[in-house]
Amino acid sequence: MHLEIQTHRKNPCAVLRSSFRKDGKVVHKSFGRVTGLSLDQLKILQAAFRGQAVPVDSPQALSTSHSREFGACAALLALANDLELPRILGNPKDPATRCLLAMIIGKLVYSGSKLSLVNLFNDTCLWEVCGVTQRGERPDVETCCYQPLDDLLQRQSAIQKKLARRHLSNGTLVLYDMTSVYLEGEYSESEIVAYGRSKADGKRGCAQVVIGLVCNAEGCPVGVEVFRGNTKDESTVVEKIAQIRNDFGIEEIIFVGDRGMVTQANYDKVKDTKGLSTITALTHPQILKLIDEKHIEAELFDETKIVEMIDPVDSQRRLCLCRNPESAARETQTRQELLEQTRKALDKIALGTTRMSASAEQVGERVGKVLNRFKMGKFVDWKLTDIEVVKGKPAKSMQWQFDQAAIDRESLIDGCYIVAANVCKERLDSEQTVAAYKSLSKVEQAFRNLKTVQIDLRPIYHHRDDRIKAHVLLCMLSYYLQWHMKQRLEPLFAADGKHENRRWTFQAVLARLSSIRKCRATLAGVEFDHSDTPDAEQSTILRHLGVRLPLK
């Protein structure tokens, strides 16, 4: 009796046979067929029929080698398929789509550059499970990374329209914010890389680009755009609103932007647009102006309730007055620290001015640098007077003081903010309006995730404008996958401990999944790939994600 493996069919199978001679001829008799097993499994079964199998208790029963990460990549690919991300990217069977999936998943699991991801081919099953290469084959960085990346930029409009249809609807909240991202290298021929004011990176001496991100009310990203590095936030708002309504096909939206974007000038341009409402916040000077003109009083800002009033300038806009005691304490402390630093620096200048001969221009330059550094110029009054020192040598004397009235006036609105919206009260009440503005923190969270080591958006090393834009889009799609992953893992995070008893983070989840390995195994002389069986903790994670790892 023996097992004959047949590989001419679409799926391999084996036939259980016996062979014997009858009338001088070899006759075969079949007893059944074995199906549903892989070729490697059939070979092991065949070895057992031949008596070549090693006893289970033998040290040579099973040996493994070439262990590679498998679980995290396979789980994220299963999640991407469940979200229909391949279809959003284009044709799921297109090799370029499979390469893009590998880079999107690789950004979350490994971060790093495209080349570093390619060089991990011996340590990860990423390229294999995504259908890009066979086991042990090194992907070509040009074919598997840069060419699909160039193709991705051509698909951007179609991809964002699909995301908008899925996550935005008529009358929905649309969150929009911007940030800067620095680059390394020379960009003399770039049209989008420029030196500008860094909003969050705190990186000096590096050129940058500015990124605008569009999210739905829950913070799910649906669109991204790269602007020149010296672009001002407010200059993009009117065009972005038109793009959302026209390109995404959404006639009615509630656009939510921070106080630096939906300026009074921008609001005046769009306030009469049919189907458009805006939610933003007033700046500190605008709040102080309302107080000075007796439209509101500082006592109206309450920590326990929202006080609503009609904008005295625009009867269509509601003003929601709020106060956050934690922000108030933080702003007071910050101002005191900056005032103290300003005092020390100005005293030093005043002392030096008296001791040495300095022109008014030189003193003014020094004072200007101090006031610009600490942003306390509105609280400082200073002047220069001529004096005569030893032997009749002329000099300058500097006197300065804090404007205590201005400081007290500013202190009145510590922790106070006003949310301004031209949304009717029947649609969003006061609490809902304030909550809508606060939801901008979800876009800020998106930027934090994009810029940290998890996705590694910065610094950008690409030197072509189209590659820079494609890289940003790729990172946004990685965050799209991460956002959905976090949503599904929310029950796991909610049931977690606190402080030192906290167990789970997104990084910890990836680490636990990454410990599921696939290795090359040898049994009875037959080589095959074998993946670890998820333990109870890993199975819980996979159950929350709603995915199952492939058996092969």
> Bigger pLDDT: 525 or 434?
434
- For residue 138, the model assigns a pLDDT of 92
Least confident of 37-51, 111-125, 209-223: 37-51
Residue 52 is predicted with a pLDDT of 61
DSSP-based three-state secondary structure for 82: helix
Residue 21: band (very low, low, confident or very high) from pLDDT cuts 50, 70, 90: confident
Residues 303-308 have a mean pLDDT of 91
Residue 489 three-state SS = coil
126 CA to centre of own chain:
21
Q: Is the pLDDT of residue 363 over 60?
A: yes
Indicate if the pLDDT at residue 23 is higher than 80. no
Residue type, 383: K
Task: Determine the 3-state secondary structure of 232 from DSSP.
Answer: coil
Q: Which residue do the tokens 């919206």 mark?
A: 421
Evaluate if residue 55 carries a pLDDT over 60.
no
The average confidence (pLDDT) of the chain is 87
Q: Identify whether the C-beta of residue 206 lies closer than 8 Å to the C-beta of residue 193.
A: no
Q: pLDDT tens digits, residue range 250-296?
A: 889 999 999 989 999 999 999 989 999 999 999 989 999 999 999 99
- pLDDT at position 531, please? 84
Lowest mean pLDDT among 82-96, 322-336, 449-463, 519-533: 519-533
Average of per-residue pLDDT across 420-445: 94
**pTM exceeding 0.95:** no
Q: pLDDT value at position 451?
A: 86
Q: 457 — phi, psi (to 5°)?
A: -65, -35
Mean pLDDT across the stretch 431-451?
A: 93
pLDDT at 228 over 60: yes
CB of 433 closer than 8 Å to CB of 165: no
DSSP state of 483: H
551 φ, ψ (degrees, to nearest 5): -75, -30
In this prediction, residue 390 has a pLDDT band, given cuts at 50, 70 and 90, of: low
Q: What does the pLDDT read at residue 62?
A: 66
* Residue 75: per-residue pLDDT: 96
457-516 pLDDT, tens digit each: 888 888 899 999 999 999 999 999 999 999 999 999 999 888 888 889 999 999 999 999
